[in-house]
Structure 1
Amino acid sequence: MNFDDQPHRRLNQLTGEWVLVSPHRTKRPWQGQEEESDRATLPKYDPACYLCPGNERAGGAVNDQYDGVFVFTNDFSALLPESPDSQPVADGLFVAEPEPGLCRVICYSPRHDLNMARLGTERVAAVVDAWCREYEELGVREDIGYVQIFENRGSVMGCSNPHPHGQIWATGATPMYPASEDARQAVHLREQGSCLLCRYMEQELASSERLIFENDSFVVVVPFWAIWPFETMVLPKVHMTSISEMEGKQRLDLADALVRLGIRYDNLFQTSFPYSMGIHQRPTDGGNYPHWHWHMHFYPPLLRSRSVKKFMVGFEMMAMPQRDLTAEAAAARLRELSETHYLESL
């Protein structure tokens, strides 16, 4: 099969879903918008920002005068602790059940004007340490079965505040997408006797077509089954079921990988690159999960420039995901980019 010219579909081994790839469509002429670099700068401190140190939040609480990472419970949480009178509903096809949990916000830095790409390895390593600490503290709670760490970056991803921050939603049950990955990894270990993502990573390293870069502890690739144009996955080289198993060098290497990937993303269209990022790892419900290999997903929407986005519409909504740019072509674009941030030339 000629991946560069022939329409084909690819199987996502983590979910069992398919994606349609139509590489011949990239040959059609582009008459869309061409843009200059985005060199707009934010202030280091914004008195109107509800995430900056010492400022009042919408709920009335006042932020600490923090100098590093700052974590607090979301003032408008999507999840709430379990109510004693909450009961499941099972009325024919109408089925519902309570979903207890809690939501936290994690500010990466007191600096309002920075993002993950520009924080530097040491600052990002402090964020990684906070992720591990939160995962461990929330995971031991009896009412928490899964800890989802994620970041929405950029207004096009629904982020209402440019201050560098992410979120943690801890749920009673394992959410749908991690549960799907859990099932696929468990089946692979049971039937093949090996870790799915360990095996996948070996193939990616042997091929190197979709490899962006690697360091001592991590591999960064555009997945073979990627849906979003410049989607990436960060994989630890050593089999670990959760981030809490990382040692000091591995945590620092993860920070290094996140900074380097962030710079490449920003340099691609010379803008603060939007994405949704999330960590997938073993549930915290007390079960046995030797099949889990934790990893990170980055789902960025940009396609051709800082304002031209990929939309999931029409065929994608009614049939299956589709992409034009192959995973191999996207990886080549990201691989060749500089690791010096474009704003450093200002």
Structure 2
Amino acid sequence: MQQFDNNEHPHRRYNPLTGEWVLVSPHRSKRPWQGQKEAASNTALPAYDPECYLCAGNIRSNGVRNDEYTDIFVFNNDFPSLLTDEVSTQENSSSLFQLKPERGINKVICFSPRHDLTIPEMEISALVKVVETWKEQYTELGSKDFINHVQIFENKGSVMGCSNPHPHGQIWAQSSLPTLVEKTQANLLDYYEKNGKSLLADYLAEELTKKERIVVENEHFAVVVPFWATWPYETMIISKRHFGAITEMTAEETLAFAEILKRITVKYDNLFETSFPYSSGIHQKPTDGKPHHEWHFHMHFYPPLLRSASVKKFMVGYEMMAEAQRDISPEKSAEILRNLPEIHYKQKTI
């Protein structure tokens, strides 16, 4: 009988945050690829685009003119997925046809007036302002009595459905806990009640000892390819100190978080020397007024690129019908990311 090798043999891994499993098939990374290729664009963008609806001073599609902002600009999404209106509905008469109205607020955050910048190309001082804005919005939105969850996220790149390259993210605040957050909530709480400690604190302590999946770290945060990662180069930023929300960061932690954001996104861009697409999002405690000692601040990055700037991971077939699956071991992807330089590839010739 062969000896198991996690970089060669198929196996399943358990995700304690969601209670789900992922199938790892590392031998499949050797297969030739003749399928879909995405257009890899390294087209130089202008610092200001008169046609961009997010650039400073430009008019958006609803006729509203943007502020002449010089760092951060926040506005209510012109095409929100959630509305603030309170509506009434009849009670569900069947467990098979459950429906309930959902209230919420959608906001857009422009990270910079520069149309041609992305997070890995921004100065750390500018990223600190982004983090401070996230704090302010989490506090402002979470203080509303009908808001119980504030989801801060960014979709980067057209392959992730981003319709505008201007550096920006979104916030969806709503009255219910979204499905994935609710699953995480349940598992974090179960672990905390059984062990009296944070699940992610214990998990990170082991990762920092093993060093197999750590990509980068500083005094306050670590970036790890999760043991249960699904996407090829998925990572998670975890705070070394146990706290539940971004508003609980000290000034030193805020600076360290901005720094770690830049370091991991620079590595992403350097991987295939392209503006690396991803969806990222912060997971933190609900804003329902309860203490939620079980929550531990973390941020997910889900990048789709698999082999090059033009080949992405598809979630189809088995993934849609059975369970998540990946073709490269988390240990291997962590090694690849860890060994990448932290100077952005565009600055090599400068």
TM range (shorter): over 0.9
Alignment match, 2:229: 226
Alignment match, 1:126: 129
Residue identity in the other structure for 1:90: N
The equivalent position to 1:77 in structure 2, one of 80, 99, 105, is 80
Q: How far apart, CA to CA, are the structure 2 residues paired with 1:322 and 1:37? A: 24
User: In 2 relative to 1, CA 193–302 (structure 1 residues): closer, same or farther, beyond 3 Å?
Assistant: same
- The answer to whether the Cα contact below 8 Å between 2:141 and 2:147 also exists between their aligned partners in 1 is yes
Alignment match, 1:253: 256
Alignment match, 1:240: 243
- The answer to whether the Cα contact below 8 Å between 1:82 and 1:98 also exists between their aligned partners in 2 is no
Q: Deviations over 1:71-97 (max 9, x none)?
A: 0101111110132x4225413121111
Alignment match, 2:170: 167
Residue identity in the other structure for 2:243: M
User: In 2 relative to 1, CA 31–157 (structure 1 residues): closer, same or farther, beyond 3 Å?
Assistant: closer
Alignment match, 2:93: 91
Alignment partner of 1:309 is 2:312: yes
Alignment match, 2:161: 158
Give 3-state SS (helix, strand or coil) of 1:148's partner.
strand
Q: How far apart, CA to CA, are the structure 1 residues paired with 2:27 and 2:161? A: 32
Alignment match, 1:9: 12
TM-score by length of 2: 0.95
Shift of the alpha carbon at 1:6? Answer: 1.6
- The answer to whether the Cα contact below 8 Å between 2:120 and 2:266 also exists between their aligned partners in 1 is yes
Residue identity in the other structure for 2:218: N
The equivalent position to 1:285 in structure 2, one of 278, 288, 310, is 288
Q: Deviations over 1:130-167 (max 9, x none)?
A: 00010011111101000000000000101000000000
Residue identity in the other structure for 2:330: A
Q: How far apart, CA to CA, are the structure 2 residues paired with 1:37 and 1:341? A: 17
Give 3-state SS (helix, strand or coil) of 1:90's partner.
coil
Give 3-state SS (helix, strand or coil) of 1:59's partner.
coil
Q: How many residues get paired? A: 345
Alignment partner of 1:147 is 2:153: no
Shift of the alpha carbon at 1:30? Answer: 5.4
Alignment match, 2:104: 101
Give 3-state SS (helix, strand or coil) of 2:305's partner.
coil
Alignment partner of 1:21 is 2:33: no
The equivalent position to 1:113 in structure 2, one of 113, 116, 120, is 116
Alignment partner of 1:185 is 2:224: no
Alignment match, 2:57: 54
Q: How far apart, CA to CA, are the structure 1 residues paired with 2:152 and 2:282? A: 6
Give 3-state SS (helix, strand or coil) of 1:235's partner.
strand
Shift of the alpha carbon at 1:174? Answer: 1.0
TM-score by length of 1: 0.96
Alignment match, 1:64: 67
How do residues 257-272 of structure 1 correspond to structure 2 at under 5 angstroms? 257-272=260-275
Q: How far apart, CA to CA, are the structure 2 residues paired with 1:234 and 1:73? A: 27
User: In 2 relative to 1, CA 27–76 (structure 1 residues): closer, same or farther, beyond 3 Å?
Assistant: closer
In the alignment, structure 2 segments of 5+ residues that lack a partner are none
Q: Sequence identity, in percent?
A: 53
Q: Deviations over 1:219-278 (max 9, x none)?
A: 001000000000000001000100000011100100000011111000101110000000
Q: How far apart, CA to CA, are the structure 2 residues paired with 1:33 and 1:317? A: 18
- The answer to whether the Cα contact below 8 Å between 1:37 and 1:269 also exists between their aligned partners in 2 is no
Q: Deviations over 1:296-334 (max 9, x none)?
A: 000000001111010011111111111110000000110
